[in-house]
Amino acid sequence: MAAANRDAFWAPSSKVNPDLARERESATFDVRELTHIIDGSPDRTKRRKELENLLYSEPVFRDVGRLSMERDEIYEQGVLKSIKLFEWSRKYKWDDDDFELASRLANHDISMSLQHAMFIPAIERLASDTQKAKWLPRALHYEMIGTYAQTELGHGTNLMELETTATFDPERNEFIMNSPTVTSMKWWPGALGKSSNTAIVLAQLIVKGKNHGLHPFLVPLRSMEDHTPLPGISVGDIGPKMALNCIDNGFLIMKNVRIPRENMFMKNAEVTRDGRFISRGVDKANYATMVLVRVKITRWAFESLSDGATTAVRYSVVRRQSSLKPGERELQVLDYQSQQYKVLPALAASYAFLMTNRSLHRLYDSVHADIMAGNTKLLAELHCQSSALKAYMSEVVVQLLELCRQACGGHGYLASSGIGLLCASSAPLVTVEGENSVLYQQAARYLMKQVAKAVVGDPVASGFQYLLTQSSSDRPDIRIQNLADCGNLDTLLQVYQRMAFSVVTGAARKLQMAIESGVEQHVAWNNNMVSLIQAARFYALHGIAKEAGYFLATPTLTPDQFELVRAAELQAMAKVRHDAVPLVDAFDLHDICLHSALGCYDGNVYERLYALAQTSSLNKTQVHPAYYKHIRGLVKDGQKQLRQQSKL
Ligand SMILES: CC/C=C\C/C=C\C/C=C\CCCC(=O)SCCNC(=O)CCNC(=O)[C@H](O)C(C)(C)COP(=O)(O)OP(=O)(O)OC[C@H]1O[C@@H](n2cnc3c(N)ncnc32)[C@H](O)[C@@H]1OP(=O)(O)O
Ligand SMILES: Cc1cc2nc3c(=O)[nH]c(=O)nc-3n(C[C@H](O)[C@H](O)[C@H](O)COP(=O)(O)OP(=O)(O)OC[C@H]3O[C@@H](n4cnc5c(N)ncnc54)[C@H](O)[C@@H]3O)c2cc1C
């Protein structure tokens, strides 16, 4: 789309859809005040606006062209956006919060997103002080452009079986990096294919023939002069994906690549000059970067879901379709109870996920500070919480975004709705940084340990006190006798704790019985995996309604109480429906960030759909070249055959 049209497209219109305007006039709260809470403070709102002005004054961040771009153009635009953010970050000395916020305003359409998402954080967490002094300036000034290369073609989850090797050569005081098999090539790391000149490579450390397990190594990939791959390095893009195609996820094969001994990250372990292996701190400390990204993913879950909820809610009040009573005006589709049931859980979950991410981030910051000071006591609890919440929130986001798409009817299937791209770009959140089934089990593993402690009366971790309170014989009955009781958050918390206690201890009992029956531990674990994963999952009324089985099959709710919860849920939806538009307006998403013809602030959906249709590459000419090449011949032949038939 030409620049002038592009600017016209995004300019907010003074003409606001009347239905949308009316919804805003009837807000029952101060939207701006809620925006400040969502941003974190009035100052953070102000900061966000400053960064919006900075980014959206740049053509590359305003482009609507991405709907019909070729992959190379998408990649190059993502590189350009990355470099803009890097230049501004250096020029204005952005902190991590500013960089994360700018990245979000760019929809994470950043080819070299791993530089700040993993490469720099890994150096900060896994390098010795001497290595940090050497490598951080080169990473922060973008001489080193990096990635985090752990996953291989043959293994992603099971880190113990990763095959890349780093063999110490005492003669030359070097490590020799190798990809010994086809399945050992690194596969998937972001920005590895074409952008990065350096990688943090996770490899099995071999010293004097002994394997000392997985350790991180800094491996130069490409010349700092002309970006050509260095000797022994074979690297490239793994091909187009469902979305996130600005990112050059790549492959890496190393054949006898030599790196200095000093390139092994040495905060948690080292190999001395004379070939002695020394381990420091806990061996899982090298997994610290993965824990950080899992926490980030809970933030991305909120961002994706609030985008989807904003589009679906605004479109659902603009779209009028069918009437409840013949002859009456067509209804705003959000007035259908079924539409509320599709769309409002995404709105509710957006707010719940925002608060959950903040709570998890506080835990992370506290535990990370302890770990940096050598105290790893709470690492296991952080691992459990980050694993369970990353898994649960990414799972729910994928489900609810698809419902938001369905709620937008046919137009939700258009790229210009933005919601299809949102579904596709959020889809990998259930896989990256630990596939969900695997992470749920990590949480379940920790839960089983807490149950074992609770059973013998030992103290349990702070987040699991319900295992003690719910087990006591004098625990109070669940007080749900009317609709009002269903709005009592303490009561709802008690319901969840009661159910969780039953499901978690039930899973533990099944596991224990299997083991006591003589089944080996790992077989018993696999045979009870679904129960263990369920024990690691569970939000308020909708969560109860959606998971009815667990609340009714355990001594938690009676059928009558469950019916009260269902009625309360529908009542709550009708109430939230009244404020649905102000509640999404409070996310205060700029139209460029939302990138949706259905979700734009002014609600002029039809004009924008038509305007974006003009950008379709098929509309470059009135008659497409395919007519002259193929269709014309078909029509002429048809005419010829009809003439011949008419003569018969
Ligand atoms: C809007 C969207 C925009 C963009 C989004 C899309 C894409 C870009 C974003 C991000 C890029 C993604 C980057 C990656 O994916 S990097 C690769 C990530 N890979 C993984 O996460 C691998 C998953 N596998 C594992 O973590 C582990 O192998 C395991 C499955 C957890 C098993 O661990 P393992 O050591 O093999 O064996 P266990 O016996 O289960 O564990 C032993 C022991 O260690 C403890 N443990 C395990 N992991 C951790 C950890 N991270 N921190 C702390 N402790 C850990 C575990 O609890 C156990 O402890 P015990 O005391 O019980 O023995
Ligand atoms: C968009 C994207 C970006 C990525 N970026 C990076 C990156 O920057 N760096 C990097 O190193 N990696 C990256 N990855 C790789 C990612 O971390 C892996 O895909 C992920 O760890 C899962 O590993 P896998 O794909 O090998 O699946 P596998 O581990 O082979 O699992 C396949 C399936 O088997 C099942 N399964 C496996 N193990 C278990 C188990 N123990 N219990 C129950 N079920 C199980 C699950 O259903 C799982 O989905 C990226 C992936 C994607 C999609």
Tell me which residue of 619, 421, 415 sits closest to 5, measured CA to CA. 619
> What per-residue confidence (pLDDT) applies to 172?
98
Residues with CB under 6 A from ligand 2: 114, 148-151, 155-157, 188-190, 244, 249, 428, 431-432, 434-435, 437-438
Q: Is the pLDDT of residue 541 over 80?
A: no
CA distance 164 to 160: 11
Residues constituting the chain? 648
CA distance 204 to 293: 22
Nearest atom in ligand 2 to 118's CA: 8
- Protein residue whose Cα sits closest to atom 6 of ligand 2: 189
- Mind listing the pLDDT tens digit for each residue in 461-498? 988 899 988 888 878 888 888 989 988 899 988 988 99
pTM of the model: 0.95
Q: Confidence band (pLDDT; 50, 70, 90) for 540?
A: low
Distances (CA, A) of 388 to 141, 384, 617: 35, 6, 44
Mean pLDDT of 560-572: 87
> What per-residue confidence (pLDDT) applies to 539?
52
Nearest atom in ligand 1 to 150's CA: 17
ipTM for the complex shown: 0.98
Say how many Å lie between the CA of residue 503 and the centre of ligand 2. 27
- Mind listing the pLDDT tens digit for each residue in 376-389? 889 999 999 999 99
Pick the range with the lowest mean pLDDT from 22-36, 79-93, 554-568: 554-568
Alpha carbon 215 to its chain's center: 26
- Mind listing the pLDDT tens digit for each residue in 628-642? 999 999 999 999 999
Say how many Å lie between the CA of residue 160 and the centre of ligand 1. 11
> What per-residue confidence (pLDDT) applies to 561?
87
Residues with CB under 6 A from ligand 1: 108, 117, 148, 150-151, 157-160, 190, 244, 284, 287, 290-291, 293, 300, 304, 379-380, 383, 425-426, 428, 432-434, 438, 442, 445
Average pLDDT, the chain: 93
- Closest ligand to Cα 155: 2
Q: Is the pLDDT of residue 593 over 90?
A: yes
Render 27-42 in DSSP notation, one character per residue.
Answer: -SS-HHHHHHHHHSSH
- Mind listing the pLDDT tens digit for each residue in 124-141? 999 999 999 999 999 999
Say how many Å lie between the CA of residue 157 and the centre of ligand 2. 5
- Mind listing the pLDDT tens digit for each residue in 412-433? 999 999 999 999 999 999 999 9
∠ at Cα 298 (295, 302), nearest 5°?
150
> What per-residue confidence (pLDDT) applies to 7?
60
Say how many Å lie between the CA of residue 395 and the centre of ligand 1. 17
> What per-residue confidence (pLDDT) applies to 257?
98
> Which of 152, 163, 433, 569 is an active site residue?
433
Which H or E element spans position 176?
strand 174-178
- Protein residue whose Cα sits closest to atom 18 of ligand 2: 156
> What per-residue confidence (pLDDT) applies to 6?
56
> What per-residue confidence (pLDDT) applies to 543?
79
- Protein residue whose Cα sits closest to atom 33 of ligand 2: 435
- Closest ligand to Cα 425: 1
- Protein residue whose Cα sits closest to atom 13 of ligand 1: 433
- Mind listing the pLDDT tens digit for each residue in 315-336? 999 999 999 999 999 999 999 9
Q: Is the pLDDT of residue 281 over 80?
A: no
Token pair, residue 638, equals 């048809």
Say how many Å lie between the CA of residue 262 and the centre of ligand 1. 26
- Closest ligand to Cα 437: 2
151 is in an annotated binding site: yes
Whether 163 sits among the annotated catalytic residues: the reply is: no
